[in-house]
Structure formats: C-alpha cells, structure tokens
C-alpha cells in the first residue's frame, strides 16, 4: 500500500502529462491510502481545470464520478485530531501549505509514525521534499 496526495490522484482521474506515470505507480501497487479530505482537494482541482477551460462541464461530471469510484477502493485516513496534531508539527518544521501538511500528517498516521520504506506519491516538489525528510520513500515525477 502507498499513500497518494491529491496531486498524484488527479492524473488518474483526468488525462494529464503525468497520467501514464500514475498508471504505472498504480500497476506497481494498487492499494491506495488517502486522507479523508482528498476528495475535496480533487474537486477543487477539477473546478480549477474547468475555470481554465482545460475541461468542460461533462468532463468534470465524469471525473467526479471516477473520483467517487476511486475513493471507494482506497484506505482512508479519518482520524482528524491526530492528523491535525501531526500537521501542526509539520508546519513548524517544513515550508508547507496547510493542506499539504494535512496530507503529510495523514501519511504519517497511516504509517503509524514509521514511514521508513513506505511510499508517498505526490507531484508537489515541496511536499515531496518534506515527505523525504520525514522518512518516506518517494517516486519523483519526471515527465517524458
């Protein structure tokens, strides 16, 4: 099982430059762990793509359905209080935005505080750097 940040999940849901990379990650390990608010972050990303005219209304609606289907198959970290405490600690140590600190906090909860050998997928460079410093393995995004 691997932890997936929303930035790595969006390319599974809509076709983007990183989609083939994400497909390979999923083929390598189909067990996905996510934070309970990841669906909200994905919806935000889809609405941004709509506003930027990258997707149309129908594509967003289809993507929301695919998001719901994907979330149903994931292991979801729901302990908000523990994740919040982790995120507050992470904000003191790393240059992260609140949402990213919550994602990494959820991954730390998922790992039981022992991230060594566990994989954290993200396309966000700052979040990837913080995840590495916390002890996670990462599979960096390198476009082809």
75/35 Cα distance (integer angstroms): 9
Mean pLDDT of the chain: 94
pLDDT reported for residue 139:
82
95 backbone φψ class: left, alpha, beta (φ>0; ψ -120 to 50): beta
> The CATH number of the domain where 132 resides is what?
3.40.50.1010
Query: What is this structure's pTM?
Result: 0.92
115-143 confidence digits (pLDDT tens): 999 999 999 999 999 999 999 999 854 54
pLDDT surpassing 80 at residue 110: yes
Query: Two tokens at 44?
Result: 């935000």
Query: How far is CA 139 from each of CA 26, 46, 72, 101, 143, rounded to the nearest angstrom?
Result: 12, 24, 24, 19, 12
Question: Of 46, 31, 38, which is closest to residue 104 (Cα–Cα)?
Answer: 38
Most distant CA pair in the chain, distance: 42
Q: Is residue 108 part of a domain?
A: yes
In a domain, 78, yes or no: yes
Stronger pLDDT, 67 or 144, i.e. the higher one: 67
Domain, as residue range, for 29: 2-138
pLDDT of residue 143: 46
In a domain? residue 143: no
Number of domains within the chain: 1
């Amino acid at each position: 099982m691997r932890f997936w940040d929303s930035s790595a999940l969006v390319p599974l849901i809509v076709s983007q430059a990183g989609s083939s990379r994400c497909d390979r990650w999923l083929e390598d390990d189909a067990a996905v762990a996510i934070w309970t608010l990841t669906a909200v972050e994905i919806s935000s990303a889809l609405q941004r793509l709509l506003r930027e005219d990258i997707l149309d209304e129908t594509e967003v609606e289809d993507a929301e359905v695919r998001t719901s289907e994907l979330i149903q198959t994931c292991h979801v970290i729901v302990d908000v209080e523990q994740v919040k405490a982790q995120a507050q600690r992470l904000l003191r140590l790393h240059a992260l935005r609140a949402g990213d600190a919550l994602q990494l906090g959820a991954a730390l909860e998922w790992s039981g505080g022992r991230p060594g050998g566990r994989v954290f997928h993200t396309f966000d460079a700052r979040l990837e750097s913080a995840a590495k410093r916390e002890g996670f393995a990462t599979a960096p995004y390198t476009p082809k």
